[in-house]
Amino acid sequence: MSEGAVRPDAQVDTRGLECPIPVFHARDAMFDLPPGALVEVLADDPQAPSDLEHWCRRNGHAVLAIDPDGRGFKILIRRGADVERPATRRSSNGNLPF
């Protein structure tokens, strides 16, 4: 990683998955992490680095490094201040839909 000996707080392996799935997995990994935490995303979709950069800019996170790793990438992201968990959909009677 370009960050030297920095160890990520979480690692997400999205190799074999196409965008936008790596973005969703990165977002999900951040839900339980504090602001400033580091998430390393492993991806082999060529679109993943630019998709993650765009998503991070729009959501207050920062891509710290994008390093080639064989046929893929290691992407290091610093979590921003807020990550909102998507609302759970409920039926009209207030029960969960399952």
The residues annotated as belonging to the active site are 19
The tally of CA atoms less than 13 A away on the side-chain side of residue 4 is 1
Task: Tell me the two tokens of residue 72.
Answer: 């893929």
The tally of CA atoms less than 13 A away on the side-chain side of residue 73 is 22
